[in-house]
Structure 1
Amino acid sequence: MVVPNLELLIPDSLGKILRKDTKLFTMRDSGGGNVFHLAAFWNVPEVFELLQPETEYLAREKDNNGDLPIHIASKMGHVELIDKLHPVSQWVNGKGQTVLHVAAKYGREDVVRSILKHPDLKEMINERDHDGNTPSHLATKYLQPAALVHLVLDKRMNPSLLNHECLAVVDSVPHHPPKELRRRIVLSLLKTVSAERPDRFIVKPEARDKVYRGSILPNPAYMKEAVETLLVVATLVTTVTFAAGFAVPGGLNSSDMASKDDRGMATMLGNRKFQEFVICNTFAMFCSMTSVVVFMLAYQGEGDLKLVNFKLAKGLLKMSLPAMSCAFLIGVNLTVGKLPWLATTISIIGSIFVFIITGYVSTEADDELMLVSRIVIPFLPPIRNLIFRCIPWYLYVLRVERTLISDDSKEDRTGSKTSASPPLGGGGKD
């Protein structure tokens, strides 16, 4: 069936139909929808200009799925139609869902953002449907991060509300969905504002088997053995990266051959790849060194504190491994750069294994890396402010240092020409 251009027919045709016979507006299609359902689906706002006291009840009728025209508009992402319909429409559909529920379920970011700013609709953020789900539950269950981010950032959102299955918002994340990337993004958003609710096991113990099917709780013996093993690995990484920080590729300028300003400096200091090597190696060293300290705390700790320290240290160690691999790859490339085929071969081989290591870490370290992010993120604003305050002083000191170096070098050159250096001609009379 070919749908005509409704925008051209509406001003005259529908007005004439309404004046002639209002009952024609009450006719339903096979899905149980009336003309306002169709207009909400096709986003034809002119139809809703015909809403009059005698036709407003049509905007409160449900189709076969239990949806009102305002819910159809929310499902399709038509913000303007929601503004037109909410004064005359009911809030919930046949499932007890508000327009915010529907928008969150289908990932309509614009609708969610508009509703949260609307003076009359913003209170929907913690409303529950017939299954006890809030809009945040549905956005999480159907993996809609674009809609969920606005809900999470709203301070009125309560992440601890339980649905009828006694699941909080963070517990509603699917465990093995086909869209794994979306699942990771949703988890990252929720872990910053909520935690899993163990109290639901008391309210409904069977939820434990459903949500944690196949999970294994760590025992003290396993924890102690794991801490000892990973502590050795972290110490080894710290030792290797610490040594690489001083035994840099290309070596250091010796005191005999270098000028006063370059003594002790790296010979490849101006090389971009060398700078990348230093950054990767430094990041790996500090991550591994911090993990050593936290592993020691985990070894001495007890109970939940031991588990938290173990996860944090494990996450830091897993972040140091790809960085150390990249530092090694860059360092080897610096030493064989004059032989292109060998440098290319090493780059290809090394890149493959770096991707393997990074992929394994990102797959296995969800809980640990989430814990690291939850600890680091609250400190980002003060660190950022401190950096911004220190930048002007750093630039000032850097400028003064360059001036002093420049002056010293001029004096050295002048002195060398007048007293220490031989004449330009290469010889002289005694």
Structure 2
Amino acid sequence: MVDLLLEWRPALAEQVDGSGSSPLHIASSDGDSDVVRAILRAAPPRTVYKKDSGGLSALFVAARMGHHRVVNEILEWCPDAAELRDDNGGTFVHAAAKEKSDSFAKEKHRHSVVSLAIENPMLRGLLDVQDKDGNTPLHLAVAAGAPRVVDELLRKGKVRADILNNDGRTALDLAAGSTSFFTTVKLVVMLVGFGAQLRPQRQDHLKLWSGHDSIAKDIERTSDSLAVVAVLIATAALAAGFNVPGGYGEKTGEANLEDRLVFKGFLVLDISAVAASVVAVILLVYGKASRSAGSWKSFAAALQCMWASLICLMLAFYAVLDAVTTTKAVYRYGFPVIFACIVVLSIFIMSRIEPVRTSLTVWRFMCHRAKSSRQTGWRFMCQQRCHLKGWHAVQRQFPLAGAYVLNLCLFTATYVLIGIVGFVGISWLEQLQRMF
């Protein structure tokens, strides 16, 4: 239909409405690449460069909405359109980076537009361009709270993270304006991991992250629910301890399976689950009552204990199956099912709390303070001193970022050590029992 209309009257492609929007603007906003292609075939090249009353061309509209196919279509027809600027001096990469996303899907679409510029050698020069305010696409992506876009710019785009805007702020400075804890942690981990630093300023003028106070309130609210969960875990573990598999002897009152190594493993796991859950309750109560800087540490330690108690409880259930059955069905079905439950639970939790998409970035963040160089002499010492000063400033402004990453590493280590090693250990206990 669009082809027929434009064939009948080609001038329709250049007409604008009250806001200065042409049909190309409308089609770019909708993300309809077929209509955009039809308009580009019929309209003169100047249509691509036409701006609406807001100073945006169709390329900028498509970039803002995250329609990477439309952006690619326009650039294929008019490669010079990539040099267009809006009224603030920004490129279409700025337009894609600065839009705030209220959903993961929208951020993913805008991330695709940025990826388009990164993958095209002719467009990579736009990645570090500054607008009239001195902001690069990285500045705007951080201010918009878009971790995926920031990760793409840093990891694949290799953009500079040390550029100052006209206000004298780096991209890391703008991360302090985010109100979401997880978004802030993601931004700080990625930026610091790629060498970003805070602007030079007096240390007594440093301001804590704006959402720091809200975290204390969130911890206080969450502690009540987590304490109930920890008590339930302790109750389940205690019940399993009193109702041991195989029952008790009628005369001695001792457990019938006390000589089995797997049964002893069950007791160790069950006791560990009870102890860890009780410690978690104590830490949660202490953290809520203290209302001090230590409340975050108590809360994080309580989460670690709860996670360990859950893993121990699931391993204890597997040990019970191994102790009371003599068939190989427990290895064929019980092991995969329980292990799959732990893996699914871990993946679900990690997808919600993982700060970055690659473990390499986390490693770079953790090693940032211990950064080394082969240089020697006074020059190296001066560089190290400046580096440590910058790291200390980051710790003061974002005190929870480093603690969060450390606890995430402990969380992963707990899963590997208790989960995987525990399953293998229980299987070996049964084999040792049969050998001796």
Specify the TM-score bucket, using the shorter chain as the normaliser.
Answer: 0.5 to 0.7
Shift in alpha-carbon separation, 1:34–1:399, aligned structure 2, 3 A: closer
Aligned position for 2:86: 93
Aligned position for 2:18: 30
1:162 corresponds to which letter in structure 2?
L
Matches within 5 A, 1:347-362: none
Residues 284 and 323 of structure 1 are in contact (CA less than 8 Å); yes or no, is this contact kept in structure 2? no
Runs of 4+ in 1 over 4 A off after TM superposition: 195-198, 207-213, 248-253, 262-276, 281-285, 321-328, 365-368, 375-381, 383-388, 390-394
Shift in alpha-carbon separation, 1:126–1:375, aligned structure 2, 3 A: farther
Shift in alpha-carbon separation, 1:198–1:401, aligned structure 2, 3 A: closer
Aligned position for 1:320: 301
User: Could you tell me how far 1:27 is from its partner in structure 2?
Assistant: 3.3
Aligned position for 1:110: 109
Does residue 65 of structure 1 match 2:54?
A: yes
**For residues 278 and 397 of structure 2, what CA distance do their matches in structure 1 show?**
24
User: Could you tell me how far 1:140 is from its partner in structure 2?
Assistant: 2.5
Identity %: 16
Aligned position for 2:201: 201
Shift in alpha-carbon separation, 1:402–1:268, aligned structure 2, 3 A: closer
Aligned position for 1:404: 432
Residues 40 and 70 of structure 1 are in contact (CA less than 8 Å); yes or no, is this contact kept in structure 2? yes
Residues 41 and 76 of structure 1 are in contact (CA less than 8 Å); yes or no, is this contact kept in structure 2? yes
- Choose the corresponding residue for 2:186, options 177, 186, 189: 189
Most deviating of 55-64 and 256-265: 256-265
C-alpha root-mean-square deviation of aligned residues, in Å?
5.3
Shift in alpha-carbon separation, 1:13–1:71, aligned structure 2, 3 A: same
**For residues 392 and 324 of structure 1, what CA distance do their matches in structure 2 show?**
18
TM-score by length of 2: 0.52
User: Could you tell me how far 1:44 is from its partner in structure 2?
Assistant: 3.6
Aligned position for 2:402: 371
Shift in alpha-carbon separation, 1:392–1:327, aligned structure 2, 3 A: closer
Which has the greater radius of gyration?
1
SS in structure 2 opposite 1:67?
Answer: coil
**For residues 304 and 36 of structure 2, what CA distance do their matches in structure 1 show?**
60
- Choose the corresponding residue for 2:145, options 137, 143, 146: 143
Aligned position for 1:353: none
Shift in alpha-carbon separation, 1:139–1:374, aligned structure 2, 3 A: same
- Choose the corresponding residue for 1:74, options 36, 39, 63: 63
Most deviating of 163-172 and 192-201: 192-201
TM-score by length of 1: 0.53
Superimposed CA distance per residue, residues 195-221 of structure 1 (whole angstroms, 9 cap, x where no aligned partner): 58454437xx9x9589889x99xxxxx
Residues 36 and 47 of structure 1 are in contact (CA less than 8 Å); yes or no, is this contact kept in structure 2? yes
Write 1 or 2 for the structure with the bigger share of helix.
2
The alignment covers a number of residue pairs equal to 298
1:191 corresponds to which letter in structure 2?
V
Long gaps (5+) in structure 2: 102-106, 214-233, 285-291, 310-395
Higher RCO (CA < 8 A, seq sep 6+): 2
- Choose the corresponding residue for 1:48, options 37, 47, 53: 37
Shift in alpha-carbon separation, 1:169–1:263, aligned structure 2, 3 A: same
Does residue 16 of structure 1 match 2:44?
A: no
Aligned position for 2:353: none
Long gaps (5+) in structure 1: 1-7, 217-243, 289-309, 329-364, 409-430
User: Could you tell me how far 1:75 is from its partner in structure 2?
Assistant: 1.6
